[in-house]
């Protein structure tokens, strides 16, 4: 879904791709690992108030029920609200006042704490999107460099990066740090495509040369993105790049044809070498050629 009139033009110019991890490279529904049912039920009201993929998985595990009162989501940190009249928080370890998991832990984690009680850690096992590795290989084959910017713990990011063939990655980033990274890439001359889905990606999406978000992304991320792709396929990114590059090529070809046509036809008409009937036929033919050339876009990327 194309949201910006200039998006294809900017997308055709990108030289570097930045991907969020959770919900972009990995599926939007991670697997909750060995959680205590009582702990799930305790945290469920706050999980129902968040759109983060981990919180939504927790909410599904708990089943239907009320959401926490007065819930407020802090980008890149977590969500807080009232449960049974007491303040509760869910998100990063530091946000809830807990000690993070030991360095090297591979599970993606989500922490929950009610005021006056001990923090609870929920661990998740993330599954790659089925075509994630193929999509990233496709981006590289198109001459684009690829990296991951994630707010998750380093070990989990490193594991996913290795599985999909990405060697450059950064972890434990705040939304401000992600945005700063996009600015830094621009200052080095890179034109970046940012693909993200969460509240913590919105600023980076807005700053990137071009941006995409999955259809299940947070509203603020979809609003900040130039394109939104539906379905589960990450190869939508390579398809979008192919379409953008082909659109630019067709436009340049049509400009060249128009220039050539006018270079030949205008002097001929001025010298009286072309009668009105021939001129009308030539003018119509030139428009037809340009239109037919543009219609070649129908077959770009093998899709119709």
Question: What are the pLDDT digits (tens) for 47-74?
Answer: 999 888 889 899 999 999 999 999 998 8
pLDDT(104) > 70: no
pLDDT(253) > 80: yes
Residues recorded for the chain: 304
Question: What are the pLDDT digits (tens) for 115-127?
Answer: 999 999 999 888 8
Residue 105: predicted pLDDT: 64
Higher pLDDT, 106 or 14: 14
Angle at 151 between CA 74 and CA 192, to 5 degrees: 105
Q: How many CB atoms lie within 10 A of CB 216?
A: 18
Query: Is the pTM higher than 0.85?
Result: no
Highest mean pLDDT out of 101-105, 203-207, 246-250? 203-207
Please indicate whether residue 201 is annotated as part of the active site. no
């Amino acid at each position: 879904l194309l949201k910006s009139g200039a998006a294809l033009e900017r997308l055709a110019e990108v030289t570097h791709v930045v991907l969020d991890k959770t919900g972009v490279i990995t599926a939007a529904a991670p697997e909750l690992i060995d959680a205590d049912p009582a702990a799930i039920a305790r945290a469920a009201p706050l999980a129902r108030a968040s759109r983060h993929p981990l919180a939504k998985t927790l909410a599904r595990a708990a089943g239907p029920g009320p959401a926490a009162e007065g819930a407020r989501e802090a980008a890149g940190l977590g969500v807080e609200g009232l449960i049974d009249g007491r303040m509760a928080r869910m998100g990063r370890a530091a946000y809830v006042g807990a000690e993070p998991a030991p360095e090297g832990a591979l599970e993606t984690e989500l922490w929950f704490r009610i005021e006056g009680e001990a923090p609870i850690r929920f661990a998740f096992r993330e599954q790659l999107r089925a075509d994630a590795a193929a999509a990233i290989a496709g981006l590289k084959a198109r001459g684009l460099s690829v990296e991951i910017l994630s707010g998750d713990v380093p070990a989990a990011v490193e594991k996913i990066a290795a599985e999909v063939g990405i060697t450059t990655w950064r972890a434990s980033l705040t939304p401000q740090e992600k945005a700063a990274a996009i600015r830094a890439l621009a200052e080095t001359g890179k034109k970046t495509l940012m693909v993200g889905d969460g509240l913590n990606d919105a600023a980076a999406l807005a700053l990137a040369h071009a941006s995409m978000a999955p259809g299940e992304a947070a509203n603020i991320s979809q609003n900040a993105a130039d394109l939104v792709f539906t379905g589960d396929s990450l190869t939508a990114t390579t398809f979008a790049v192919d379409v953008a590059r082909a659109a630019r090529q067709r436009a340049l070809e049509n400009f060249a044809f128009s220039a050539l046509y006018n270079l030949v036809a205008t002097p001929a008409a001025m010298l009286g070498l072309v009668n009105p009937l021939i001129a009308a036929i030539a003018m119509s033919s030139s428009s037809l050629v340009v239109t037919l050339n543009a219609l070649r876009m129908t077959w770009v990327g093998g899709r119709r």
